[in-house]
Chains A and B, each alone.
Chain A
Amino acid sequence: MSISSLLTGWSLPEKKTETKIRKYSTTGDILSYKRCPRQYGFFSVRGFSSATATQRYFGTLVHDVLDRINRNYKIGVPLPSEDDVNELVSQAHDRLIRSGVRPYNAPQQQKHAATLIYRFVKWAGPHFFPNVKETEYRLERVLKTHTNRDYILDGVVDVLSGAVSHSLGLPLKTSAQDIEIWDYKSGDRPDQNSPEMQAYIYQMRVYAELFRQQTGKYPARCSLVFIGELDNKNWNDENKAPKDLSKVFNFVEPVAKEVETALKDFSETVELIEKERSKRYSEQWKAPDAKKTDRKTCEACELRFNCNGFPEGNKLRAEAL
């Protein structure tokens, strides 16, 4: 007997479509996708393991030590001496090593990190740390894209502070009531017009908007601190201050129109990512045009040996090992 003749009164079940509201991290998703869709798809969405832990060593080290100094300061520990900084760096390093991160040339990197951090603490610390309100401050909002798709955008601000710039006497329109968002970058400041720098600036604008939605108003400014710019090239050892301040700090003052542009750009990126996700597996996360990717990104990428975004990789593939 056939199955259909048995199923009296059977009705065709509808196909269900579920809409998921996905969470997007400003750095881990949006900026990462913009850097390279293929790399993002493989490492962030599909979850392949990447050796970037090694590359992140320095950044993590700097970040962890600054965080610890902050926390200590909060409970009344005075700002650290040079020896203290060395000790804190070595503790943070020890944690990373024990958990299996293997950096290249660790002693030198440690020493470098300690130098930069100590300079920062000594030079900006008395203005900076007393004004810190929160560290790793989470901003998270439910937003809609231009096609009305819901998504959650989140970002973690390194430091939410009071009027640091005011206290430092920077040549800006500051006031003692300012609220500021600070983001540490452990490297050098990229070229002002580079995509990398533009991405940072957009990130700051979006933070400003998330902050506004969360608290009702914009922060006075978002400040990128390029800790790497406190190295010998840019350090005046006589007055113990950076030679060129504009290399160390980059301020983004929220202007509604610019903020809106940045947010629109993010929501368009969300749409692009969603579109990519809805494709068949084999069609997803194709390499971008070679002109659109940054060389440094490609050179560090595990997928470089077979990628349209990096034609040199084809040659490198044939090389041994």
Chain B
Amino acid sequence: MNLDSFYNILSKAHQNKLPLNSEQEEAFKHTYKTPLWIIAGPGTGKTHTLVWLVLKRILVDGIDPERIILTTFTRKAAAELESRIIQSRQILIDAGSQEAEAIDLTRLHIGTLHSLCSDILQNQRYEPTLRIRILEDELVQQFFLRRSRNPLLNNGAVSFWQRFGIAKQNDNFAPIKSVRTEGACKLFNRMTENSVDVNAMMGSGDQDYIQLAEGYQKYQEDLREKYRTDQAHLQRHFLDFLDTPEGEQWIANGFTVLVDEYQDTNPIQEEIYFRLAKKTRDLTVVGDDDQSLYRFRGATVESLIDFDRACKIYLNTTPKPVYLSENRRSHPKIVDFVSRYIKKHPDMKDPVIRVRAPGKPELKAASNITGNYPAVMAIARSTHRDAAHKMASTIQEMLQEKLVSDPSQIALLTFSTRESSQSIGAYTEALELAGIPYYNPRNRRAQRSERFKALIGALTSILDPDDFYLAPNYPLPRNVPQYVASARAEYLQLAPNYSELVQYVNNSVQALKQASPDSKNKYLVRKGGRRVTLSGLLYKLLSFEPFATDLGRQTEGERFKVLNLILAEYESLYYSGEILLSETPNGTSVDNKIMYPFYATFIEGIHDGLNDPEDDEVSIQEGMVNVMTIHQSKGLEFEVVFVLRPDKQPFLSDTHIMEDEFDAFSQRPTKPKLRRSQDMRAAEDGVRLFFVAYSRAKRLLVLTGSNFLKWQRALGADDQGRPITSESALKDMGVHFL
């Protein structure tokens, strides 16, 4: 089929109108002698273009689906992409295309790069990764470092941790072990992703780097020894595989590679993509640098911004840029606001270094949403409470007046959905007071709920009736005893109403005390002789009320699940969760070898609330107003968006510091020659976050918060480039104050 016949059938399937605008058509004309660089603003039909482009590549360019690798950022997005490709093919079949009928889409490689690497390594039976266990969760990676006693965790020099941004400059002491562990994981991940030269680090003569390199080498040895890998190392394994004879054979003919969300690619992924497409030069990257949000996970926005430079280095060629700028999502006034915001923002301008992709046109409004109303509004009050109250009454009115068809068409977006007073507590509280149903997976009630704690309380009551957690000769991390005590208290509060549970806990305590471990079996067993595991106890507790009912409720159930998963990973590292016993004068008790790490590592890991993975694949809950982080809202759209807390200031994070610290050792071929200052990079990141938040809105965008004087970063500059510092300046731009 040639391009004309493809267009014909495509038009036929769409009431005789080609569903592509002239910008999108540019991508379809490309001949792939060089890579294709699609820079697509929000709401410009990026996925739509990508889906039809894949079908065009198969039908017109004759690429075997088996030779196509298509990746995107999350599993959920990958599944959606696959769905859409299958549906689009069906549209062509329904329009009478026999060619479309003949293609076998199940042979396409669609997924996250991570999942594809894992599948390919398995299919190829790459020896070093056969049945390997992946440390998927950050917390689990931390458990691993602790279990393997990584020497870096003993580094007590505050200056070391300050150097990498893990301790504050005015700290007097090195951070506590859990913070060091988290920091060490970040350091190691960044080192892997940036292909850091460990030998150069060792030979640097700089004690900090030498210790870091030693810790890293030990970590790598431990991964090998314990047959585990982390996300970054899995990709390293994949690159190593490509260098084996089997790998060379596998990649010999090269692939057609299409990458979605390329702005959030890290250096090792960049290297993989160029390796996959080395032979064919058939590489298409799609993304929007202005929506890059994952620097803190090692993403490098310059992968997209400087894609032309990378093509020169890897392939000695120049890519063809294609810009998608027609926004079909939002009300024209929202498009204007968003477009001005990113274009005029002082933080996004630099005379030397590219901060945005070159040649990018402004967004153009092209949606069919009209209405002569101020589509951008603001609620600015002197306190969060007042702002929250106004927000809630506005939402209530919209629901009462039926301005939306379902509450889920309204979203509250923010930096962090923790419901603390420093964050958005006032806003969710106002919703609650107004009786507006809302969904926030980080809901305080679920997070620190009495129930969650009571469950931990019940579990530790069984395991530790003698209050080992208070034992002074085994000092636990500061917060742990306090947390366990309050968890026990929550359990005791439940007790009067749940006698069955209490009886079970008490019976179990007795059974444990009376257990008689012998030399053959030193572990706690249930009636019948099977060993009891921590997970086993947790499941059993969940079979009692009130937990059994909680398990069936979404918010609580999902939190219990995370607890269950993390416990399972913990168990795989610590005695498989089996409970070693020892005799004491008070009867039998759980051995210290079990209890100490259970408290110091597991409880320490979960006590401060479970992880809040920013790319958590949230699904929108119907019938409720959805509260989510800006990160979670990526790729979504809502009719009405309240962006909470425009007073939030950008903050310099360890990632910005590590980028500079590792620069000298990075072996990344496309390492930027120059970077902006750390503060400027942090400021850019802040602007991109607000840009993503604003551009989610279809019909109405409401900036909501207090402290108007601090909104400047969130407002940017006006058309003349003057910073917006007053309400009147904002009103002049057509923003309505509620």
Contacts and interface: CB of A to CB of B under 8 A. Distances in A.
A139 B554 CA distance: 35
23 contacts: A3-B397, A3-B398, A3-B401, A4-B401, A7-B700, A8-B371, A10-B403, A13-B699, A15-B405, A20-B79, A49-B568, A51-B533, A64-B131, A99-B227, A141-B106, A142-B106, A150-B87, A282-B552, A302-B536, A303-B539, A306-B542, A321-B508, A321-B526
Interface of B: 79-80, 82-83, 86-87, 90, 104-106, 123, 125, 130-133, 225-228, 369-374, 377, 394, 397-398, 401-406, 409, 462, 500, 503-504, 507-508, 510-512, 524, 526-527, 532-533, 535-537, 539-540, 542-544, 548, 552-554, 557-558, 561, 564-565, 567-568, 572-573, 576, 578, 639, 698-700, 736, 738
A67 B540 contact: no
A303 B131 contact: no
Interface of A: 1-4, 6-15, 19-23, 46-49, 51, 60, 64, 67, 71, 92, 95-96, 98-100, 102, 136, 140-142, 150, 152, 154, 214, 281-282, 302-303, 305-306, 313, 317-321
B296 to A, nearest CB: 25
A317 B572 CA distance: 26
B405 A21 contact: no
B539 A140 contact: no
Contact of A320 (B404, B504, B536): B504
Given A4-B397, A96-B131, A150-B87, A318 B500 contact: yes
Contacts of B374: 6
Interface centre among B511, B553, B568, B578 (most CB of A within 10 A): B568
B409 A13 contact: yes
A22 B226 CA distance: 35
Given A10-B371, A10-B403, A303-B539, A317 B544 contact: yes
Given A49-B535, A142-B106, A320-B527, 7 more contacts: A9-B370, A13-B639, A21-B83, A64-B131, A96-B131, A99-B572, A142-B105
Contacts of B542: 306
Given A7-B371, A23-B79, A49 B564 contact: yes
Nearest to A54: B576
A9 B374 CA distance: 11
B564 to A, nearest CB: 5
Nearest to A139: B106
Contacts of B377: 6
B532 A321 contact: yes
Contact of B540 (A7, A14, A51, A321): A321
A95 B374 CA distance: 63
Given A14-B405, A98-B225, A6 B736 contact: yes
A99 B135 CA distance: 10
B578 to A, nearest CB: 8
B738 A281 contact: no
Given A13-B405, A21-B82, A320 B132 contact: no
Interface centre among A14, A21, A23, A96 (most CB of B within 10 A): A21
Given A95-B227, A100-B572, A140 B106 contact: yes
Interface centre among A14, A15, A67, A320 (most CB of B within 10 A): A320
B543 A46 contact: no
Contacts, number: 166
A297 to B, nearest CB: 16
A306 to B, nearest CB: 4
Contacts of A6: 373-374, 377, 736
Contacts of B372: 8-9
B696 to A, nearest CB: 14
Nearest to A285: B552
Nearest to A70: B125
A104 B248 CA distance: 41
Contacts of B226: 98-100
Contact of A152 (B86, B565, B578): B86
B698 A13 contact: yes
Contacts of B371: 7-11
Contacts of B373: 6-10
A19 B80 CA distance: 10
A136 B120 CA distance: 12
A268 to B, nearest CB: 21
Nearest to B698: A13
Given A15-B406, A21-B82, A67-B125, A319 B527 contact: yes
Contacts of A22: 79
Contacts of A10: 371, 373, 403, 699
A219 to B, nearest CB: 18
Contacts of A303: 539, 543
B508 A95 contact: no
A7 B639 CA distance: 13
Nearest to A144: B90
A141 to B, nearest CB: 6
Contacts of A9: 370-373
B80 A20 contact: yes
Contact of A142 (B86, B394, B554): B86
Given A3-B394, A21-B82, A141-B106, A100 B403 contact: no
A154 B106 contact: yes
A313 B710 CA distance: 59
A2 to B, nearest CB: 6
B404 A13 contact: yes
Contacts of B403: 3-4, 7, 10, 12
Contacts of A140: 106
A71 B526 contact: no
B554 A317 contact: no
A211 to B, nearest CB: 13
The 3 closest A-B pairs by CB, nearest first: A9-B371, A100-B572, A98-B227
A100 B564 contact: no
A295 B572 CA distance: 28
B553 A281 contact: yes
Nearest to B229: A99
Contacts of B406: 15
A12 to B, nearest CB: 6
Given A13-B639, A318-B503, A319-B527, A46 B561 contact: yes
Given A4-B397, A21-B86, A46-B561, A317 B543 contact: yes
B131 A99 contact: yes
A281 B557 contact: yes
A302 B564 CA distance: 12
Contact of B537 (A98, A136, A141, A321): A321
Interface centre among A48, A282, A305 (most CB of B within 10 A): A48
A110 to B, nearest CB: 15
B371 to A, nearest CB: 3
